[in-house]
A and B are shown apart, each in its own frame.
Chain A
Amino acid sequence: MRGLLGSLLVWLALPVLTAQADEQLLGYWYLEEGAPGFTIDDVHIGALYADGTILNLSSDGKEVSSYTSAEYSVEGDEITFIYPRGSDEEPERHPYRYELIDSDTLLYTDEAGDYENPEDAKTYYRRLPDNAHLTLALLGLAENGQLEEAELEVDSDFGERSVLVTTEDPFAQFILFSDRRQAFRGQINRNGVPVVSTVSRHLAAFRLGTAYPDEAFDEMIMIMQESIASAQKAAD
């Protein structure tokens, strides 16, 4: 899984692509519903990778969960989402016409469906902003198979949002504090090992439980930092 992430970065960097063609499609897209502007409170994110895989991240304001449900392929201005079913069944295929309205807005139109109001056939996705550090961190953990559970709290003690993250290792829990208004800085060590770390200027991680292996926490911090940094790089 980690290999996949590594190669993803290479994919993004190199212009050489497979038949998936449109590299502008690659990256993190969120479904814009309700008020404009991104928050993690109630959102669906689809991550489109160069190898045709998709990762989903959904939040209902209480829990953030990640799952893979489909793959995609592109031909011309048509994108097809392929949902695998049982091993002896043909996968479901859902084609849409896509259009990049600008580099940050993606429109899917369901031309096969029968809609009374043609607007209902349209779904708009927006590119995840590169300052959505909390979401980028969670996406990084999910890409590395580390996001087991994530409980979201709005208006937490240490910022706008906090998320209690349970990783693959059940002893390995930490809280992420997110604040896009002001910068975090510094670190608290316990016996020389970080227990509270600045992940990025908008994100701090607070390790829970002393049974949590030191290296495991360091590794999670690194995964999150890489994810945030690569989004930054892609935006620059």
Chain B
Amino acid sequence: MKNFVKFALTTCLAFAAMPVLADERFQGYWYDSTGSEEFDLSEIYLIESLGADGSLRGLDVNVDRANGFSGGHYEVSGDRIIITYPEDEGEFTLTYEFLDENRVVYRNEEEDFQAVFKRLPEDAYLSQALMRLVDTERPLQVSLGENPSIGSIIALVSLDNEEANFEIGMDKAAVYEGEMTQGGDVLLTALHDHLLMIRTNAEYPAEQFSEIVELLRAR
């Protein structure tokens, strides 16, 4: 159902905004599976967000650090895709081939380059949340760690070039529920079953924190 809604939504967006952009199969979150066959945030180094309008944003991951970027774009024409990364990090003209709707191979035969990108799994809850933050195009820095009390994986998130302002914890094996407030402001809240969000930095304005909670909670 969720997939259907998402599919329907992206399809609508594609038709409404940019019918020229041919192949809506590209839209969504993809990770470079070169480092890791199965999705594992600590093993991979790139997740991309391909927008219906040809925008390209992403998350560079380096073991326990991740940084968001935006301002790239992509263009599909025939069996070719031109990917332009922001800040002069290069323009790549590649051929593409969909192995199925969740896997695409990019190749540059001249340079003997090949990479398989896979669709970010729906149950990669933490990464899905981080990619939603990437899509806001606000400066994003993340440090990743483990905290068995809160979740198996924990992301300490800094938005807008500020100090770390909140944490997102994920535990796929557990079900979280509830909320704790301090002076009426949300301090901790279960985003959904497997994600917990914590306003780590008391200086971080409660309204901004709540906005982000709403953003990440929205389906």
Contact = CB atoms under 8 A, between A and B. Distances in A.
Interface of A: 157-159, 179, 181-192, 195-196, 198, 204, 206-210
Contact of A210 (B149, B175, B176, B181): B149
A195 B149 contact: yes
Interface size bracket, B side: 20 to 34
A182 B148 contact: no
Nearest to A186: B180
A184 B202 contact: no
A210 B174 CA distance: 11
A159 B179 CA distance: 17
B171 interface: yes
A47 B148 CA distance: 37
B178 A189 contact: yes
A209 B148 contact: yes
9 contacts: A182-B182, A183-B182, A183-B183, A184-B182, A186-B179, A189-B178, A190-B174, A196-B178, A210-B149
Nearest to A212: B149
Interface of A, secondary structure class, is strand
B200 interface: yes
Contact of B180 (A182, A185, A192, A209): A185
B193 to A, nearest CB: 10
Given A157-B200, A181-B183, A188 B176 contact: yes
Q: Which of B178, B182, B201 has the most CB of A within 10 A?
A: B182
Contacts of B184: 182, 185
B202 A158 contact: yes
Nearest to A198: B180
B180 A188 contact: yes
A190 B180 contact: no
A171 B92 CA distance: 53
B133 interface: no
Interface string B134-160: 000000000000001110000000000
Nearest to A179: B182
Given A196-B188, A209-B149, A210-B149, A186 B201 contact: no
Q: Which of B175, B180, B181, B202 has the most CB of A within 10 A?
A: B180
Given A159-B202, A210-B149, A189 B176 contact: yes
Nearest to B180: A186
Contact of A184 (B150, B180, B190, B200): B180
B171 A188 contact: no
A204 B180 contact: yes
Contacts of B201: 157
B130 interface: no
A187 B178 contact: yes
Interface in B181-219: 181-184, 187-190, 196, 200-202
B174 A191 contact: yes
